[in-house]
Structure 1
Amino acid sequence: MASLGWQVIRALFGVGERFVPGIAGRAAFELFARTPSPRKQTHGERKAVSRAAKFMQSARHHRLTVGSDCVAVHEFRPEADADEAGRVLVVHGWRSRTEYMKAIVEGFRAGGFRVFSIDLPGHGQSSGRRLTVMKAVEALATSAQWFGPFDAVAGHSFGGAVAVAAAAGTVKTAAPLAAGRLILIAAPNSLADIVDGFSREVGVGPHSRQAMVARIERLAGRDLQDFSGAGQLARLPIPTLVVHAPDDREVPADDARDYGAAGRHVTMHWAPGLGHRRILSNPDVVSRVVSFAGTQGRLAIAS
């Protein structure tokens, strides 16, 4: 059963749809872009952050200005006995942060990579309480100006969708992200589907949704349909690894299949039983991700 707060929100959007759909659409956009409060972590989230404290102390921490936000980028050097294999950018998902990407980051470090893990606006050590695909892509573009080009970019969930949009240059306010390889872990394929799911959840009606979409398209300078991960990837012949669990309850497996159909440059790896988040810490997944990044990412950039 929905909480009282969500019932009230749904009721308000119902009234807005009937009388002021333009205002309701703008309010829906603001709610859609609102990031979770850092003060309201679950017990599991607090535990994960606490367990990763020593890991975070090993990083060099950078602060970048992206629009009105201060974005944190954490730099992890390769392990002492490893030759440097290249540079990797790691991008977390919604309601996530660098600490949750610990196993992936450590895998890359052990493989000799210098890792730059970004906390997207409104997440982790970055400022703000608002995040859109546009803001996220601009944050990645700014990171590339300082620390790129990257031999590989690895994104989980929302971060995977952002990585594709950044590499494809879909957001007109940001330069395309130079990457030798892309690694998409449990990534959603369609921004339009995400908007539809949100609209159903909070009771945004069709006219209000139209106003919300118009707001997104004005900010992006693109039609909403342009944010199809598979469509972008089909026009972006970068070697790409798609990792997904068939039992993922947050991002349907069909999204991964759509990515896989984007072209022969896409490699699929199914990870049964790992769901949406456990997939990040699975040793086999980490090994495959690091192996895929390899040294060939450098060759892709050079060519």
Structure 2
Amino acid sequence: MASLGWQVIRALFGAGERLAPGIAGRAAFELFARTPNPRAQTEGERKAVSRAADFMRTARHHRLTVGQDCVAVHEFRPDAGAGDAGRVLVVHGWRSRTEYMKTIVEGFRAAGFRVFAIDLQGHGQSAGRQLTVMKAVDALATAAQWFGPFDAVVGHSFGGAVAVAAVAGTVKTTAPLAAGRLVLIAAPNSLLDIVDGFARQIGLGSRSREAMVARIEHLAERRLQDFSGARQLARLRVPTFVVHAPDDRKVPADDARAYGEAGGHVTLHWAPGLGHRRILSDADVVSRIVSFARMPAQLARAS
């Protein structure tokens, strides 16, 4: 049964559909883009951040101005004696932060990579309370101006969808992000599906939904269909490694299959039993990701 809060929200949007669908659609967009309250962490989230405190102290912390927001980028140098394998940009998902990417960052450091892990707007140590694909792509582009080019870009969940859009140059106001490799972990394929799922969750009527979509497309200067990850990836031809758990309850396995069918430059690896978050700390998954990033380009395309 839905909580009282969600029942109230659904009732309000139901009334908005009848009385003022345009206003309801714009309000739905604001709710959709609203980032989680940083003070409302769950006990599990607090523990995860606490466990990563020593890890975060090893980083050099940067603050970048992105639009009206201040975005944190955490730079992790390669382990002593590991050499210089290149540069990697790591992007977390929604309601996540750099601390949750700890095992992946450590895997790249041990292999000699310099890692730049970004906290997207409204997450981790970054300011703001609104996040959209467009804002996130802008943040990645700003990080690339300061710290790129990147030999690989690694994105989890929402961060994976953002990484594809950034490298594909789908946001018209932002230049494409140069990347030698892409790694997508539990990444959603369709922004339109995400919007429709959210609309159903809050009980948004058809006219209000149309107004919400129109607001997003106005800001993006693109149709929502253009943010199909598989369609963008098919055009890119950048060697890409897709990792997904068949049991992921947040992002359907069909999304990974769609990515896997984008072309011969895409390698799909299934990680059964790891769900949506545990996949980030699995030693075998991390080893495969790092190995893919180090693979010569011609072999990565053929793998």
Smaller-chain TM-score bracket: over 0.9
Aligned-partner SS, 1:116: strand
1:104 matches 2:107: no
Q: Give 2:81's aligned amino acid.
A: D
CA distance in 2, matches of 1:199, 1:22: 14
Q: State the partner residue of 1:179.
A: 179
Question: Runs (4+) of structure 1 moved beyond 2 Å?
Answer: 295-300
Q: State the partner residue of 1:154.
A: 154
Normalising by structure 2, what TM-score?
A: 0.98
- Kept after mapping to 2: 8 A contact 1:103/1:281: yes
Query: 1:299, CA displacement in angstroms?
Result: 11
- Structure 1 range deviating more: 53-62 or 291-300: 291-300
CA distance in 2, matches of 1:162, 1:205: 27
Task: State the Cα deviation string for residues 14-64 of structure 1 (Å, max 9, x = none).
Answer: 000111000000000000000000000000000000000000000000000
Q: State the partner residue of 2:2.
A: 2
Q: State the partner residue of 1:196.
A: 196
CA distance in 1, matches of 2:201, 2:290: 37
Q: State the partner residue of 1:205.
A: 205
Q: State the partner residue of 2:252.
A: 252
CA distance in 1, matches of 2:271, 2:149: 29
CA distance in 1, matches of 2:234, 2:49: 37
Shift in CA distance, 113/297, structure 1 to aligned 2, threshold 3 Å: farther
Q: State the partner residue of 2:274.
A: 274
CA distance in 1, matches of 2:133, 2:182: 17
Q: State the partner residue of 1:226.
A: 226
CA distance in 2, matches of 1:169, 1:176: 4
Task: State the Cα deviation string for residues 93-143 of structure 1 (Å, max 9, x = none).
Answer: 000000000000000000100000000000000000100000000000000
CA distance in 1, matches of 2:29, 2:212: 5
Query: 1:297, CA displacement in angstroms?
Result: 5.8
- Kept after mapping to 2: 8 A contact 1:179/1:297: no
CA distance in 2, matches of 1:219, 1:295: 38
CA distance in 2, matches of 1:155, 1:297: 19
Query: 1:81, CA displacement in angstroms?
Result: 1.2
Shift in CA distance, 297/264, structure 1 to aligned 2, threshold 3 Å: closer
Q: State the partner residue of 1:239.
A: 239
CA distance in 2, matches of 1:98, 1:296: 27
Counterparts of 1:28-177 in structure 2, within 5 Å, are 28-177=28-177
Aligned-partner SS, 2:236: coil
Shift in CA distance, 298/47, structure 1 to aligned 2, threshold 3 Å: farther
Query: 1:146, CA displacement in angstroms?
Result: 0.4
CA RMSD of aligned residues (A): 1.2
Q: Give 1:116's aligned amino acid.
A: F
Tell me the number of residue pairs that the alignment of Structure 1 and Structure 2 aligns. Answer: 300
Normalising by structure 1, what TM-score?
A: 0.98
Query: 1:296, CA displacement in angstroms?
Result: 3.0
Question: Where does the alignment leave 5 or more consecutive residues of structure 1 unmatched?
Answer: none
- Kept after mapping to 2: 8 A contact 1:34/1:131: yes
CA distance in 1, matches of 2:27, 2:144: 33
